[in-house]
Structure 1
Amino acid sequence: GTPLAGTAPLDPLEFIRTIAVARITMPRAMVRLSAGREEMPETMQALCFLAGANSMFYGDKLLTTSNPQAEKDRALLDRLGMRCSTESGLATDAAAKVDLCRH
């Protein structure tokens, strides 16, 4: 296990607030969404981007954790009016990738 094993899950609004604080305190940082996005509703992911997240891991797998399908990511970003820094960034392949997303 990990030191956080057995702890209560973080409240979704607290998670989003943490992203906002990271953006305010580190305005030039890459604030990435990664492991666990598969279990996040799209609305929560959208709020994370609006709160300051500007990057995400995507692809079939991130180490041992699944990621949402690239098509779902593209649809979500389109709905949010966001684009990735490289169009090839959302190509589907087995390796997890990192991409910068912008409004």
Structure 2
Amino acid sequence: MKKIRQKLRTWATNTWQLPPDVTMDLPRITMVGQLHIYIENHRGVLRFSNQELRLRLKQGQLLIKGHSFIIKTILPEELLLEGKIDQVIYLDE
């Protein structure tokens, strides 16, 4: 059933030229230099410190490493992080 749903989403995305982040529940990540990162379509914060942020995604996790982290905005599916960003890593569970 999952494969059928995935194929249908891929087909709809390609046929109607819809953004994949919307149709396939992918995160949208916008970075401004190494100072800000804005993440949309996440499933929650798993871990936060001034050096690390780990977010749950529909498929896997997103790990952001750096220092002096401050969460400026947090909404159910959106997050704005400020600080010195050194690494952004996508982890397959």
Normalising TM by the smaller chain, what interval? 0.3 to 0.5
TM normalised by structure 1 equals 0.30
Structure (1/2) with the larger helix percentage: 1
TM-score scaled by length of structure 2: 0.33
Quick check: which has more Rg, 1 or 2? 2
